[in-house]
A and B are shown apart, each in its own frame.
Chain A
């Protein structure tokens, strides 16, 4: 998994523009993109998240990745 941090301490216009792409205006925002985005949508986490929420999203991402791998295996064979 790749981790990208968007540091908006100094409130940059380009970051505000990017947040607006996900209909968000204020922080914090966590977006998790699946490996096959945009085929599968990203997941926008709530402002408050607990371990269970994070696990739920990560499990979904794992399933997507497994599905992708399976389909590649099928193609290769």
Chain B
């Protein structure tokens, strides 16, 4: 957490693991500041306090969909511990090493300096322009006889992005690892140590930086090919093949066109290349081949190498970094990108044809949308022979993504090739082969040469399977990082997940309250048994009382309060009867709803839940129309006739008990979608009980809602404390009309989620028509209107218009939404759920998984 809030302060650096060439420890100074992204504590504190206030004020009024996650998504509240900080930070974010080689018989050599960075850390290029972060500087400190004869070149292009801190400065940074190489001149026959000084700074994505002041000892590691730096070698290999003649391949309606070619013939002991070119339609991009466990990537999964070695994919194509989401920067290529995978033929390999097969998993996105992740299968035959120049065909065909992912699972699909492009020596080879988990993570920027120096363990290294898993394209994270995109699985994947994982097994969980008493490793779990009958009873009662303040219920109950005001001074017995009628209506509706749910559960064995009626657009539509009519009534558009049953809380004050009863019914109906936050545990317990006990709990829940009104009714003195009836009531009445219209809007949101824009617009038009019917009824149904006119315009015409409105409502409720839930906007990396998705994600990613069950109502 400290990393995020402030730069590291004078921490003594610990010796790094596996950094054999390090000669000095060092200290970090306080002067370093994030070069690209900083989080000022004051801003953070303000955001935090505001978010806290919003959370505290907003939560009690929130509908079920307003849980913590969207607040996080919208940036209103940023946890001081970023999502990425859940990954493990190495104490030492950078491991530096240096080696050099000499061209035999000459005074020329190549000096290489490599840095391997922990996840989330980066260094800057040697060519970083001034006015920005400190560029990396590499010099030869000793001996003086050894001199640089050329500039240091990186083995791959840095990631470039406009700085949001240094105005007008383009930041060039390297992630994961980079090898710089430079030509040197040295005394003939010199094979001694070379002391190399490195200066610059290393920064984390969270914002903290540490200065780099390294003194490295470069050891002589052997002979170099004439004046070829790493960059030279990579370039030379890339230009060998002629991709232009390759047959293009494109998935139907996919914006990516692929071409591929491989070296036709490679001599034993030599190296060729396998190349893939992706040409993208305008506006589209594909993700880098960098596979870490936070970002998306394009994966090359080589499943059959026929004894050859295939190295990591590299590309000279510029990487574009999109920092729209600071915690999840997106790295991608657009336009035209070519990846090269070096193919090493071990010495002694038998001459003849060697088949290479594998998959590519990729995803094409624009800035606002993504195609589903796609897979293709490739296959080629490389001849081990005379090493004649030329390309051979690489065939490509569609593949199912689950098949490709399964092939990646536990399969070593990339080999370590040493600095000269060779497979590691025998000793190292066996070690490498023995444990797939030791393979370094795929890195787009990793060259086809990997230092023999031991790399720091990856934060994600977790055994052979998980290592392979970590290479699986995390396309979901990437795609969903684009605002309002929720990544969906294909039908094949859904079927695969359901088949592979046990989706019926009980979930082992602890509740928040149990967490402290069950420390990590204790293996403790909660169960529904922790909720007793009495605690459920208490929860239902208190939840019912609090429910009165929810937006679903409050306007309706406002009317009831007004009714009480009008009853001030009336016969106490009559007032009590109103209260009892209200509670009766509430309880009867509660019993009917609960009875329906319990009957269906028992008789059909299905998991129908409390509030299930809210998933039915017809019911929601009916509620909207009812509340809308009540609102129109309060707004004075019409009055219910004396012969009609008074619905809800009519404010005439002379109504019968039926009005109070119906108010109670209405209260129960509108309360159900808001009851989740208060009654989650209690309701879950209730629905798991025998019908008798469940009905008792439902009754107590209803009594909880009714108790404030019963108190008013049974203690009339309380009513007398309310303001006396007067002109203010007219204002209050119209105000309550608007409150009801707000409730209508609340339910329309749910209706819109269910039926889409089409359904919502039909409903809006239907409400206009219904309002017209109400207007005619209100104007022409009064007793003073002549009979003929009253019947024609006061009854028949409104009825006809209302019927039209009802028909439109029915049509609106028949529509179905195809859009995403609005809940997902905001930019966090959400993935869509399917049975088995959680289990699959846990198995493949080995990361914390947050699952948010929510709804738009």
Minimum CB distance partner of A7 in chain B: B821
Query: Which of A5, A26, A30, A33 interacts with B848 by CB under 8 Å?
Result: A33
Question: Which of A41, A46, A50, A59 is in CB contact (< 8 Å) with B56?
Answer: A50
A3 touching B69 by the CB < 8 A rule?
Answer: yes
Taking a contact as CB atoms under 8 Å apart, the answer to whether A2 and B847 are in contact is: yes
Q: A1-B848, A32-B849, A43-B515 are in contact. Are A7 and B854 (CB under 8 A)?
A: yes
Name the one of A5, A36, A46, A49 contacting B833, with C-beta atoms under 8 angstroms: A5
Question: A61 and B86: CB pair below 8 A?
Answer: yes
Contact pick for B853, options A30, A35, A40, A61, CB 8 Å: A30
CB-contact partner of B504 in A7, A19, A21, under 8 A: A21
> Chain B residues near A76 (CB, 8 Å)?
437-438, 457, 461
- Check A22/B507 contact, CB under 8 A, given A6-B853, A40-B520: yes
For residue A57, give the distance in angstroms from its CB to the closest CB of chain B: 7
Contact of A21 (CB < 8 Å), options: B87, B505, B750, B848? B505
Known: A3-B480, A48-B59. 9 other contacts (CB 8 A): A16-B609, A22-B506, A27-B853, A28-B854, A28-B855, A31-B851, A37-B849, A64-B520, A69-B459
Nearest 7 A-B pairs (CB), nearest first?
A: A11-B615, A16-B607, A23-B528, A29-B853, A6-B833, A47-B680, A41-B508
Establish whether residues B831 and A8, one from each chain, have CB atoms under 8 Å apart when the complex forms: no
Q: A4-B851, A61-B848 are in contact. Are A21 and B515 (CB under 8 A)?
A: no
Contact partners of B567 in chain A: CB under 8 A: none
B510 in the interface (beta carbon within 8 A): yes
On chain B, the residues within 8 Å of A21 by CB distance are 504-507
Question: What chain A residues lie within 8 Å of B850 (beta carbons)?
Answer: 1-4, 30-33
Interface residues on A, range: 35 or more
**Complex Cα spacing A40 to B508, Å:** 8
B64 part of interface (Cβ distance < 8 Å): yes
B682: shortest Cβ distance to chain A, in Å? Answer: 10
Give Cα A45–Cα B854 distance, bound, in whole angstroms.
13
Decide if A27 touches B855 in the complex (CB within 8 Å).
yes
Interface of A is mostly: mixed
Q: A43-B509, A58-B79, A61-B86 are in contact. Are A51 and B750 (CB under 8 A)?
A: no
Q: Is B52 an interface residue (CB 8 A)?
A: yes
Cβ–Cβ contact B854 & A33, under 8 A: no
Task: For A1, give its contact among B83, B527, B677, B684 (CB under 8 Å).
Answer: B83
Chain A residues contacting B838 (CB-CB under 8 Å) are 4, 33
Q: Are A23 and B527 touching (Cβ within 8 A)?
A: yes
**Which of B28-36, B267-275, B386-394, B822-830 touches A?**
B822-830
In contact, A17 and B515 (Cβ under 8 angstroms): no
Q: Count of A-B contacts with CB under 8 A?
A: 287
Contact mask B509-524 → A, CB, 8 Å, 1/0? 1111101001011011
Contact of B462 among A24, A26, A28, A72 (CB under 8 A): A72
Give the shortest distance, in Å, between A67 (CB) and chain B (any CB).
7
Interface pair B678/A47, CB less than 8 Å apart: yes
Among A7, A11, A42, A58, residue most surrounded by chain B Cβ atoms (within 10 Å):
A7
Chain B residues with Cβ under 8 A from A17's Cβ? Answer: 503-504, 607, 835
**Shortest beta-carbon distance, A41 to chain B, in Å?**
4
25 contacts between A and B (CB under 8 A): A2-B476, A2-B845, A2-B848, A4-B830, A5-B821, A5-B854, A9-B857, A11-B609, A16-B606, A17-B503, A18-B835, A21-B505, A23-B684, A24-B684, A28-B64, A28-B677, A35-B842, A42-B508, A47-B681, A50-B52, A50-B55, A57-B512, A58-B848, A64-B520, A69-B457
Task: Decide if B347 is an interface residue (CB 8 Å cutoff).
Answer: no
Please give the distance in Å from A18's CB to the nearest CB on chain B.
7
The residue in chain A whose Cβ has the minimal distance to the Cβ of B505 is A21
A66: chain B residues within 8 A (beta carbon): 88
Quick check: B688 and A30 within 8 Å, CB to CB? no
Contacts A21-B506, A21-B507; A6 near B854 (Cβ below 8 A): yes
Contact of B852 among A3, A22, A59, A61 (CB under 8 A): A3
**Chain A residues, CB < 8 A from B471:** none
- Which B residues lie at the A interface, using CB under 8 A? 48, 51-52, 55-56, 59-60, 64-65, 67-69, 77, 79-81, 83, 85-88, 437-438, 457, 459, 461-463, 476-477, 480, 486, 503-513, 515, 518, 520-521, 523-528, 606-612, 614-615, 675-681, 683-685, 687-688, 750, 753-754, 821, 823-824, 828-833, 835, 837-838, 841-842, 845-857
Give CA–CA (A69, B837) in the complex, Å.
24
Contact of A26 among B77, B525, B676, B847 (CB under 8 A): B676
Q: Which residues of B contact A60 (CB under 8 A)?
A: 515, 520
* Distance A38 CA – B506 CA, assembled complex (angstroms): 11
Q: Which of B68, B521, B831 is in CB contact (< 8 Å) with A54?
A: B68
Q: Closest A-chain residue to B854, C-beta based?
A: A28
Provide the residues of chain B in CB contact with A5, threshold 8 Å.
Answer: 69, 486, 821, 823-824, 830-833, 851-852, 854
Interface on A for B, CB 8 Å cutoff?
A: 1-11, 13-51, 53-69, 72-73, 76
Say whether A48 contacts B677, CB under 8 Å: yes
B520 touches A32 (CB 8 A): no
- Contact present for B610 and A56 (CB under 8 Å): no
For residue B316, give the distance in angstroms from its CB to the closest CB of chain A: 32
Closest Cβ–Cβ distance, residue A13 to chain B (whole Å): 6
Tell me the nearest residue of chain B to A23, going by C-beta: B528
Is the beta-carbon distance between A9 and B754 smaller than 8 angstroms? yes
Distance of A6 Cα from B841 Cα, bound (Å): 14
Residue numbers in B under 8 Å from A4 (CB-CB): 830-833, 837-838, 841, 849-852
Q: A3-B69, A48-B677 are in contact. Are A30 and B852 (CB under 8 A)?
A: yes
CB atoms of A14 and B835 under 8 A apart = yes
What residues of chain B lie closer than 8 Å to A13, measured between beta carbons? 606-607
Q: How far is the CA of A55 from the CA of B82 in the complex (A)?
A: 10
Instruction: Contact check, B508 vs A38: say whether CB atoms are below 8 A apart.
Output: yes
Residues of A within 8 A of B511 (CB): 43-44, 46
Give every chain A residue within 8 A of B853 (Cβ-Cβ). Answer: 6, 8, 15, 19, 24, 27-31
Contact B81 A55 (CB under 8 A): yes
Nearest CB on B from A62, distance (A): 5
The residue that B79 contacts in the complex, of A48, A55, A65, A73, with Cβ under 8 A, is: A55
**Interface residue from B438, B683, B847 paired with A25 (Cβ < 8 Å):** B683
In the complex, A6→B837 CA distance in Å? Answer: 10
The chain A residue sitting closest to B59, CB to CB, is: A48
- Across the interface, do B69 and A2 meet the contact criterion of CB distance under 8 Å? no
Cβ A37 vs Cβ B508 within 8 A:
yes
Give the docked Cα–Cα distance between A19 and B611 (Å): 14
Judge whether B753 and A9 touch: CB under 8 Å. Answer: yes
Evaluate whether A7 and B845 lie within 8 angstroms (CB atoms) in the complex, with A24-B680, A26-B609 already known: no
A16 CA to B676 CA, complexed, in Å: 14
Instruction: Kindly report which residue of chain A lies nearest to residue B65, judged by CB atoms.
Output: A28
Contacts of B525 in A (CB 8 A): 41
Q: How far is the CA of A15 from the CA of B834 in the complex (A)?
A: 8
How far does the alpha carbon of A29 sit from the alpha carbon of B64 in the complex, in Å?
9
A72 near B457 with CB under 8 A, answer yes
- Is there an interface contact between B509 and A10, defined as CB atoms closer than 8 Å? no
Known pairs A48-B59, A51-B48, A57-B515; A32 contacts B848 (CB<8 A):
yes
Q: Which residue of B lies closest to A36 (CB)?
A: B846
